[in-house]
Amino acid sequence: MSTVEMEVFSDFQLVVLTVLMLIGGEVFISIFKLQFSKSMISKNHIVYGRSSLDSNSEDKIDVNQIELGLVRINDHTAFRNKLTNKTDVFDTPEEEESKYITKSINYLSHTIVAYFFLAHALCSILIVFYMDSIPSAKQILENKGIKVTTFSVFTAVSSFTNCGFIPTNENMMVFKKFSGLLLIIIPQCLVGNTLFPPCLLIFIYVLKSCTKRPEFGYILSHRSQLGYSHLMCNKKACYLATTVLGFTLIQFVIFVSMEWNNSGAMEGLSSYEKLVATLFQVTNTRHTGELVFDLSTISPAVLVVFIIMMYLSPYTSFLLDGENKGPDGEDKITCTTRKTTWVEYLRFSEPTYLTIFIVLICISERHNLKDDPLNFNVLNIIIEVISAYGNVGYSMGYSCGRRIKSEGECKDAYYGFAGRWSNTGKWVLIIVMLFGKLKCFHKGGGKAWKLL
């Protein structure tokens, strides 16, 4: 959701933005979360080890007894010792498990880093190859003064990290006829976002099959103990993949049925180009935010579908009844029970907070809503707010032709509609973006409110 033209940035500034997008992405940050979990496990292991050393000597095993074969080491423990290259047979089962979890987290971290760089490198190379193979596509970048390498890396990183930034002012609209380029970027939008857990599982299974390392088997069989929320069970990952494909198909059908003959959006495209461009657009709704069509030319019915899809979190999935329940009927996701405070009872639900934000923005932009109603209308503001909340980046842009009062100079803008808002409206939208980034900390609100 940019508020300035992207082409004003120099090559060096684009590189800086690329680095910021890279380190600010969910996958990159999750690696540090995983390392933090490892450090906590190691810390607990040290504390436990010290307490074990202070325990009574009668609980310790005599070395002579082991040498004489009077004490038999458990086969499972010996297997673990072999895997972790340990020689200390005096470790308690808890210490032993902690060490093995720590080593498995290291393997998982290296796997994620390899997945991370492999996805970026592969997409960047394919885009460079495509640009070199299609002179007309490369000519567009040359006319705008954008280097092919910079564009390729920037686009690959932006698509993977779901930023939605493209170095061109028109986003991907200038490339909507280049179906091959769109087909290269579509998988990149998925592997770093909604399909990251299933793709990561497939990557781990491939590594396990190729390397035969037992650590990968341990990772797959002890996922909950590693503290990595993106590492889902096979069944949940399948449900997630099915849901993602289902939502994409629903959007695709609705978009094609409503916009196939839309002269404003589909003008100049062949049937094949229309299908690919539509697939690209509906894929980006959750939640990459790159645009191949001008949203202001799309029918309101499709925009409402986009709003719903942007609101849904990336890992929204359809689960069969009882999949989230344990053997006693309790929710598996809730690991602990705690007393609910009065503050939590007063918390609103997420739709309520979003409604409040929309009302505040409508108040701050009330003069524009009155003087420029075709650009500043409630639907456009809702799209901007929900897009900011879902960290999608969709924007309606601004059209000078839709102004009722043609006063002063005006320039059409495909980039952020929020750039035309007042400072108060922009500050509220910034709060909405932060609210969406931190949605995992305030979910579950509004439970005390009952509509009778």
- pLDDT exceeds 70 at position 346: no
CA dist., res. 71 & res. 66, Å (int): 5
CA dist., res. 439 & res. 435, Å (int): 6
- pLDDT exceeds 80 at position 243: yes
Computed over every residue of the chain, the mean pLDDT equals 81
Q: What angle do CA 14, 114, 152 make, to 5 degrees?
A: 30
**For residue 261, which of 299, 295, 294 has the smallest C-alpha distance?**
299
Residue 428 tokens read as 């509220």
Three-state secondary structure string covering 47-88: HHHHHHHCCCHHHCCCHHHHHCCCCCCCHHHHHHHHHCCCCC
- Mean pLDDT (whole number) for 417-442: 85
CA dist., res. 394 & res. 388, Å (int): 8
CA dist., res. 130 & res. 124, Å (int): 10
Task: List C-alpha distances in Å: 246 to 206, 315, 323, 362, 432.
Answer: 26, 13, 19, 34, 28
CA dist., res. 65 & res. 3, Å (int): 74
CA dist., res. 185 & res. 223, Å (int): 30
User: What pLDDT score was predicted for residue 102?
Assistant: 79
Q: Tell me how crowded residue 434 is: count the other CB atoms within 10 A of its CB.
A: 13
Domain architecture of the chain: domains with CATH = 6-191 (no CATH), 342-441 (1.10.287)
Supply the DSSP string of 138-178, one letter for each residue: HHHHHHHT--HHHHHHHHHHHHHTT----SSTTTTGGGTT-
CA dist., res. 47 & res. 42, Å (int): 9
- pLDDT exceeds 90 at position 83: no
Determine the residue type at 241: A
- pLDDT exceeds 60 at position 122: yes
Q: What one-character DSSP code corresponds to residue 397?
A: -
CA dist., res. 49 & res. 54, Å (int): 9
User: What pLDDT score was predicted for residue 40?
Assistant: 67
- pLDDT exceeds 60 at position 68: no
User: What pLDDT score was predicted for residue 279?
Assistant: 95
- pLDDT exceeds 70 at position 442: no
Q: What angle do CA 342, 345, 350 make, to 5 degrees?
A: 140
With beta carbons less than 8 A apart as the criterion, state whether 420 and 407 touch.
Answer: no
Residue 271 tokens read as 């049937």
Q: Which tens digits make up the pLDDT trace of 262-314?
A: 888 888 899 999 999 999 999 999 888 899 998 888 999 999 999 999 998 88
With beta carbons less than 8 A apart as the criterion, state whether 306 and 385 touch.
Answer: no
Q: Which of 51-55, 139-143, 226-230 has the lowest average pLDDT?
A: 51-55
